[in-house]
Structure 1
């Protein structure tokens, strides 16, 4: 009897162990996506293909991601996989908070380092090691309402090429009686403000480490003129890129500066003919620049499930040929996009990527970015003259860079 009881107990233990082993691993995922975007849209698809892995998704606001991650890591409660904006990979990698993916990538049959474009690859590289995989790439361009162009006697086949042409078009397109502004863009006091500002600065010869330039002053004067003359809405100073594009989609702005991630929503919401053009340059013959955006999927160094987390990252990377049509991302690697939706707009953003520049990278990027967007706000609210605002920013940046 004891022998039978012992056998039953042993069998129960084995069954219990087998059941425990069969339990799927749950990965904690942090994302900036809304429920109708990217990771939410592929969750069921991934889990169906990988029944041994479940995804628990949490949306964190873009502006809060760095601080929320830092707090969570300090208490050991961070996610397994998270989105990180590309200039901030260096911030976390330099502090040993991200898993070095280099050996996993070397063994991967899906991710090939040499296929990732140089800009996105540089954004995930720190100290010659790779700490993330781009989920796509993006940049910014000028969207415009072709119907409004025609109504105001402007040729939609000839969108503004220079800053002067942009100003003239914005002035003609602004219609206070119909609550229409000529241009919508974001100068908000977050990374998004820096993201929109840097290409304008770079087109005049400056960069994130050299902001107190005559060109920088001209950018802030130009932006100030657009706002002061109400060619752009006063809430440009508090409005995100998502919000400014919503204004465009609703027909309350004739032009908007934003990225390709807006395309799926624009296709649903905009009830007019919309087109896109390269970001205008200071004057004919000037150098072009654009922002390199989109974030990276990274695994935290203290993840309890690094193997399963990398399976997810590999799978997401395998979807690179689909990201334009499904999510409005540009591919970050050498893949073929078959039958791209909105082909004319795709061609504009593909061209714009040739001029896209990294922000940083630098392990103290948030401090640099804050100095930049604080200067923008100070100037555009007339608390400081543009030159003084940029001079104050330069001192802060020099301190961060140790100069």
Structure 2
């Protein structure tokens, strides 16, 4: 395993990419310090982006349980997602990386290119049962740099009461035409249509991608006719009053708050809102986001990868592998993803989740159709593309440019042929 010890020089470009690739859903502040080494070689460090889970949480107990099984103590540090990314690069520069790193999936290719992570070929993590569309987010240059701890994604929540008043049968919503027709009925009934997040950050790109991909567009050609049709859909919804102007500044949280008011028929949001949906006080359902011509649109995968950073002390890898395997193996995966409110990355555990809670069925469908933002060889190119995408969305929705001109400017900015 001496091949693990090689690392490339970390660059300013890598730091910049990590800032832009910061996840769309994590929040909170860090717990603990950034030191990873202690005098006790029986202590192993884990960094994660879940500051919402304290020392007595099910998540912390799961980590400690994996430590007990491996015969070591766990020193856990939790950071906000964007803060974690930068801390990892700085720690790697100082040869002070954590033993196990759980990191937002779009960041994995950047860390891999910077030489921070070991590959699954090197560290022998088993990824054979992971759904290929989910594993793709952790791949770069033909190599895999970790395994997903779980996945979340986007779908459409709908308010059953609003749709009933408007005379909309949810089973009729199968594509963009029928969805827009439903929104027109909702408007005629005096209710509000659909809310989403189009803010000028990664959250805006995250929410636009299902429509962009659902049109048949590809991130390698931002201003294709298909891509323009997706942005035109959103723009038309605003112009016709089917979506509020507030979407331009909405985060996914504020968008959810609009839907939770009970006035909206639909909201694009994620798995992480399920608990809030149960508390909303009205009947709700979940529908996978439809493609332009029908079927389920590919939504971007959220969620983190369990990775093993490069260590100069290669003797630590044997135990580190045990810890990573414990978190992502079939024995604990159901518990892990229930704790994190994620869909599992394997069909076997997804089926178990749906069997335990039928409300997860549309989420399982959405996850099976989802794909990583950096997949398809985009890797570290994604952050720049995403930045120009959200700028184009902002420009079109504000009326500053037409959807076609906004995406043409985006394409030019990322030098796409």
TM-score category, normalised to shorter length? 0.7 to 0.9
What is the CA distance between 1:372 and its match in structure 2? 1.4
Q: Using the alignment, how far apart are the partners of 2:132 and 2:322 within structure 1?
A: 23
Residue matched to 2:133? 119
What is the CA distance between 1:56 and its match in structure 2? 2.6
- DSSP-derived class of the 1:270 partner: coil
The one of 59, 64, 84 equivalent to 1:47 is 64
Per-residue CA deviations over 1:199-244 (Å, capped at 9, x if unaligned) read 3222323111111112222222221222344432333223232432
Q: Using the alignment, how far apart are the partners of 2:227 and 2:144 within structure 1?
A: 33
- DSSP-derived class of the 2:385 partner: helix
Per-residue CA deviations over 1:336-375 (Å, capped at 9, x if unaligned) read 4436378443222222334323323322321121121121
What is the CA distance between 1:79 and its match in structure 2? 4.6
What is the CA distance between 1:73 and its match in structure 2? 4.5
Contact (CA 8 Å) 1:47, 1:54: kept in 2 or not? yes
Residue matched to 2:283? 273
Residue matched to 2:250? 239
Residue matched to 1:314? 325
Q: Using the alignment, how far apart are the partners of 1:97 and 1:365 within structure 2?
A: 19
Contact (CA 8 Å) 1:208, 1:360: kept in 2 or not? no
What is the CA distance between 1:60 and its match in structure 2? 0.8
Residue matched to 2:305? 296
Count of aligned pairs: 369
Residue matched to 2:13? none
Is 1:27 the counterpart of 2:45? The answer is yes
CA distance 1:155–1:148, change in 2 (3 Å): same
Contact (CA 8 Å) 2:271, 2:341: kept in 1 or not? yes
Q: Using the alignment, how far apart are the partners of 1:247 and 1:230 within structure 2?
A: 15
The one of 105, 114, 137 equivalent to 1:86 is 105
Name structure 2 gaps, 5 residues minimum. Answer: 1-37
Contact (CA 8 Å) 2:235, 2:397: kept in 1 or not? yes
Query: Within 5 Å, which residues of 2 pair with 1:4-403?
Result: 25=43, 27-31=45-49, 33-35=50-52, 40-48=57-65, 50-51=67-68, 52-61=72-81, 66-67=85-86, 69-70=88-89, 73-74=92-93, 79-105=98-124, 112-156=126-170, 158=171, 160-173=173-186, 181-267=192-278, 269-283=279-293, 288-302=297-311, 306-318=317-329, 319-323=332-336, 325-336=338-349, 337-338=351-352, 340=354, 343-361=357-375, 362-398=379-415
Structure 1 length as normaliser, TM-score?
0.79
Rg: which structure is higher? 1
- DSSP-derived class of the 1:296 partner: strand
CA distance 1:75–1:325, change in 2 (3 Å): closer
Q: Using the alignment, how far apart are the partners of 2:57 and 2:338 within structure 1?
A: 16
Structure 2 length as normaliser, TM-score?
0.76
Contact (CA 8 Å) 1:262, 1:328: kept in 2 or not? no
Q: Using the alignment, how far apart are the partners of 1:174 and 1:69 within structure 2?
A: 48
Contact (CA 8 Å) 1:323, 1:330: kept in 2 or not? no
Name structure 1 gaps, 5 residues minimum. Answer: 1-19, 106-110
CA distance 1:89–1:347, change in 2 (3 Å): same
- DSSP-derived class of the 2:258 partner: helix
Residue matched to 1:10? none
Q: Using the alignment, how far apart are the partners of 1:372 and 1:93 within structure 2?
A: 24
Q: Using the alignment, how far apart are the partners of 1:313 and 1:381 within structure 2?
A: 46
What is the CA distance between 1:316 and its match in structure 2? 1.6
Per-residue CA deviations over 1:97-154 (Å, capped at 9, x if unaligned) read 113342332xxxxx53221111122222233433111011233221101122123322
Residue matched to 1:6? none
Instruction: Give structure 1 regions of 4+ aligned residues with deviation exceeding 6 angstroms.
Output: 20-23
Q: Compute the RMSD of aligned alpha carbons.
A: 3.3
- DSSP-derived class of the 1:144 partner: strand
Structure 1 window deviating more from structure 2 (205-214 vs 320-329): it is: 320-329
Contact (CA 8 Å) 2:100, 2:309: kept in 1 or not? yes
- DSSP-derived class of the 1:275 partner: strand
Contact (CA 8 Å) 1:123, 1:358: kept in 2 or not? yes
- DSSP-derived class of the 1:297 partner: strand
CA distance 1:137–1:339, change in 2 (3 Å): closer
Per-residue CA deviations over 1:376-396 (Å, capped at 9, x if unaligned) read 112212222211111121123
Contact (CA 8 Å) 1:53, 1:308: kept in 2 or not? no
